[in-house]
A and B are shown apart, each in its own frame.
Chain A
Amino acid sequence: MVSPVVRLTARGVVARKFRILLTTLAVVSGVAFVSGAFVLTDSVKSAIDSLFEELRGDIDLEVRTTIAFGDEARGERDPVPLSLLPEISKIEGVRLVEANLRRSATIIKTDGEPLKVSGPAFGIAWNGPDGLDGRTLIAGTAPKGPKEVAIDKSSAKRAGYEIGDIVTIVGPTGKDQFTLVGLTGSGNTNGGGGASISAFNPNTANDFLGAQDQADSLLIGILPGFSLSDVQVSIEEILPSSIEVITGVQAAKEISGSINDVIDIFGKVLLGFAAISLFVSAFLIFNTFAIIVSQRLRELALMRAVGASTQQIRAMIIGEGLIIGIIATGLGILGGLGVAQGITALFNAAGAAFPTAGLTLSLRTILVSVFIGIGVTVTAAIVPAIRAGRIPPVAAMRPELGFSALQRNKRLVVGLTTLLFGITLFSIGLFVQPGGTIITLGSSAIGAVMLFLGVASLSTTIAAPASRLISRILPVPFRPMTRSVPGRLASRNAQRTPRRTASTASALMVGLALVSTVAVVAASVKKSFTEQLQSSVTADFFITNLSFQGLPVAFAERLDALDELGSVSPFRATRALVNGEEKQIGAVKPEMGDIVDVGVIEGSIESLAEGKLLLHKDPARDLGVGVGDSLDFTWQNGTTSTLIVGGIYTEAAVAGNWLISLETLSQASKAPPVDFFIGAKIADGVSIEAARAAVEKVAADFPSAEVQDQSEFQKSQEDQLNQLLAIVYGLLIFAILIAVLGIANTMALSVYERTREFGLLRAVGMSKRHLKRSVRWEAIIVSVFGATLGVVVGIPLGVSVAMALPDSFVTTTQIPVNTIVAILLASIVVGIVAAIFPARRAAKLDVLAAIATQ
């Protein structure tokens, strides 16, 4: 026989299925978000793993220079001399040795414009389809002669070329024309995963790509019957110590591993937002259960009267949470597959090339989803269940005694304690930053959660007066709410159930507090950045690169030769170990001082020309060095230098924290240099128009370059920040949507509860319109209350985060008044939207039937 508690629980869920539908939806969306993040990262990672295994399948061994530190796949390596190639070919067991060479090379379309690609634009050395690099020939022949090229099929198609056409390609050494002889693919695809690939025969590549008889690495295939490790050892014997030989499998793993690291970060960000959505869902679940328990007061009391124990009542309510949790988790996991597919499609439509090879639903994904989905639902049901257990049996006859039992609590004390504890933890995490990023983030996050819970709890105390205030000052549409009957009813109803009003509003509070936090931080970053740019940038032009690949060094050299321009300096970057920590080091010309005023407070920029180092005041303070002191650098290729500090500066927005000269860089690193961007100043007496025309003329030969003047540069930097912000807001929208769902849910439950009351109101002459209006205005009061709380909590949070950020990033705090006002106004819309369905339902009630309701 089924236990009565189980039976009652199951029947309870079935009987209230429509009332808990929205709750279920909220959990489903939260779980879908979580499992979607896992499915997406798992799927993409496994696709990438197999892609690289396939692409590099023929490569048995790879010879490359070593790096001293950092990520193997992303490290900047010195090139390998081609002179090693014939020597390795002679080793027993070696079937084939190929030079691996890839440099940026842009295809010019038939209309004269550069071909834009979402990935990099590469020129490569290619030995043809029988080579080791996995590139296939789809049509035509492999390039043999010095003026021949093969292009990946999808890029050729997009650029408008067919075999036999003359193609203009811009490489590191300049522009040249080639005959298109073949179309290539990689693996079983037509392209290079969003990249454009121009393949030349190795000699042409060496000349046109400016490789100077050096290669990025050497790829080796071995003869059948020979042991891989034997051949590896034989090769190792002839290599100098700065050059290593690794297996192709390891190389593939390094590359896919480094891509997977990025995907993992992406997944973690998604999980973070999933956590926010779930947190907001928890409010909704809690609220639904609290309301349902009070609606079932007599039923629960009756059960107590006929012999149900407190524990049985509690088990029943928690059991209902469990059932909802199980159903919602199941649907959520399925939804996660959809989410993963949706995000992949979205990103691919936007140009990213996520490899798709089916969705991976791992056991871990299922377990985590189950744990989280059921955990959140059951946890949120605990407090309502405890309260339900307090309902005395006598409430079966005298319900008023039951309500007082439901309302007994120590909210003020608990709320205040939680709030203070949350603030403390949050501040410790942010300002003291104990023990690394994880603990800092963790304690800030837990602090924030407690802070939100504390505010949610305290908001019960102020819900009634706040509702009264909001209804007095909010004019709908031409006069204060309280001047009309529906307005008064709305206001009184919001005040009548302060606990419900508060917890409904709290869900919205969380979402909007985070939005305001982000808004404050973003505004501060923007303002700091703009201020720094304005005070430090003196360049007239900035030349940046559209595809993040950097600019060929020839560009800056040709700009330097222009009479129309004065000082020109490229900005390069490398990495080095300083005092055991990996640092990004910028390399510039000493003339950079005319382009960017970094605010030298000690020493001089000119000292760069003497091979000295310039650094920002923060690292100088941390390391305790001043002008004249020296620091030891270990470069990525393993060489070391001791550099003397020649100056200390204050503005890091453009130049970064560390600066050396181009000469110092070229002595340290033999990796092929690229310029991140170039700054230039107009020569005296030359008009801006004339200078721009001259720059544009050079830029025409470097199609991926974009010439910007000061304001354009500033705008493009801000645009990047805005894009990032748009993504963050987009992800927070989910949490806000769930909160809106929560308001709709509470209103629907309240309408259900007030059936008889609404019947009475209609019976004494209230029109449907007025009834609807009263429901709608109540929803508006709740959402404005929530939004106000959110803004009040979010602004100080944002200010604290902005203050905690390093000075090189944020120097001033700024509260974005427009955004805050927009949030508050939007909350009115939120209320209107949330009330649509409940208001319609209230208006539809049959008057007689409503009055007859118990």
Chain B
Amino acid sequence: MTQVASHPAAAALNASKIYGKDDSEVRALDDVTVDFQLGHFTAIMGPSGSGKSTLMHCLAGLDSLTSGRVLIGDTDLAQLDDKQLTTLRREKVGFIFQAYNLIPTLTALENITLPMDLGGVKPEQEWLDTVIDAMNLRNRLSHRPSELSGGQQQRVAVARALASRPQIIFADEPTGNLDSKTGAEILSFMKHAVTDLHQTIVMVTHDPVAAAYADRVIFLADGKVVDEVNNPTSELVLDRMKRLGN
């Protein structure tokens, strides 16, 4: 399951991100170095303002660093212009957001294939079928987002992230807007995508239960990586969080 462990899907090297100037300067990221192995499910945790969202935005090429480097595969994001970043997002990266994941005017299937459609690439039908069945969306494909439940919408979002077989998927509080039962369902779908479909997922969350689905949890505080747990349980994560809080 983690045979290619030596080859990172993404990495941050001495990454720093500073907002504002002089007195109002905020170090959202402070010399962070971290990598994410292919085929792993990693959770990034930390209290509000710890820099976990900023780290993810920078890793995903949505935001730029003040200093340091971010690699997706072998590609240094700092070397890319807007056009190349767009192509990278379309081909190498998948996204799952907390809410507002789908284009309201497109059907579920059209939302799933949107990144490939935008790139003018034909979806790989076999893989698409695998993903759709894995997310249990077969009979929902022609529905518009407004006709889907919150959980179904998130499953469509996961399917979209998977559909282009990206190098890495970033999820930003994917269960934050869902009740715990639906949330658990989504997390097991994501776990399933990593274990059985060999995908790589990085998830930002503040929910220890969600983090427990991951293979590895990285803890951030004040813009720095402060701790790391492999094969976590929710109790273990909660315990570490409490310690961070103190």
A interface, CB within 8 angstroms of B: 1, 3-5, 7-8, 11-12, 14-15, 298-299, 302-310, 312, 392-394, 396-397, 854
B105 in complex: contacting residue of A8, A393, A397, CB < 8 Å: A8
**With contacts defined as CB atoms under 8 Å apart, how many contacts are there between chain A and chain B in the complex?**
81
Q: How many residues of B contact A (CB 8 A)?
A: 31
Q: What is the chain B residue whose CB lies nearest that of A4?
A: B117
Contact: A309 with B103, CB < 8 Å? no
A292 to chain B, nearest CB (A): 13
B83 close to A (CB within 8 Å): yes
**A-B interface, 9 closest residue pairs, ranked by CB to CB distance from nearest:** A307-B90, A11-B105, A4-B117, A394-B62, A307-B115, A309-B86, A306-B115, A15-B105, A307-B118
- Complex: A394 Cα to B89 Cα, angstroms: 12
B interface, CB within 8 angstroms of A: 53, 57, 62-63, 82-83, 86-87, 89-91, 95, 97-106, 110, 114-115, 117-120, 160, 172
- Complex: A299 Cα to B101 Cα, angstroms: 8
- Complex: A3 Cα to B83 Cα, angstroms: 19
Contact: A299 with B89, CB < 8 Å? no
Residues of A within 8 A of B115 (CB): 306-307
- Complex: A5 Cα to B120 Cα, angstroms: 10
Residues of B within 8 A of A298 (CB): 100
Contact: A397 with B118, CB < 8 Å? no
Which of B63, B86, B120 is most buried by chain A, counting CB atoms within 10 A of its CB?
Answer: B86
Residues of A within 8 A of B100 (CB): 298-299, 302, 396, 854
A398 to chain B, nearest CB (A): 8
With contacts A4-B118, A396-B97, A397-B172 taken as known, whether A303 is within 8 angstroms of B62 at the C-beta atoms is no
With contacts A8-B103, A15-B105, A307-B119 taken as known, whether A393 is within 8 angstroms of B98 at the C-beta atoms is no
Residues of B within 8 A of A306 (CB): 89-90, 95, 114-115, 118, 160
List 18 A-B residue pairs with CB atoms under 8 Å apart, sorted by A's residue number. A4-B110, A4-B117, A5-B118, A7-B110, A7-B117, A8-B103, A11-B105, A14-B105, A299-B100, A299-B103, A306-B118, A307-B87, A308-B118, A309-B86, A392-B62, A393-B89, A397-B62, A397-B97
B91 to chain A, nearest CB (A): 7
A315 to chain B, nearest CB (A): 11
- Complex: A309 Cα to B62 Cα, angstroms: 13
Residues of B within 8 A of A309 (CB): 83, 86, 118
Residues of B within 8 A of A302 (CB): 97, 100-103
Residues of B within 8 A of A394 (CB): 57, 62-63
B133 to chain A, nearest CB (A): 22
A376 to chain B, nearest CB (A): 26
Q: What is the chain A residue whose CB lies nearest that of B102?
A: A302
With contacts A298-B100, A308-B118 taken as known, whether A8 is within 8 angstroms of B57 at the C-beta atoms is no
Contact: B104 with A15, CB < 8 Å? yes
B151 to chain A, nearest CB (A): 17
Contact: B118 with A312, CB < 8 Å? yes
- Complex: A263 Cα to B91 Cα, angstroms: 63
- Complex: A4 Cα to B102 Cα, angstroms: 14
- Complex: A5 Cα to B119 Cα, angstroms: 10
Contact: B82 with A310, CB < 8 Å? yes
A397 in complex: contacting residue of B98, B114, B120, CB < 8 Å: B98
Which of B98, B114, B119 is most buried by chain A, counting CB atoms within 10 A of its CB?
Answer: B114
- Complex: A11 Cα to B119 Cα, angstroms: 19
With contacts A4-B117, A12-B105, A397-B172 taken as known, whether A304 is within 8 angstroms of B86 at the C-beta atoms is yes
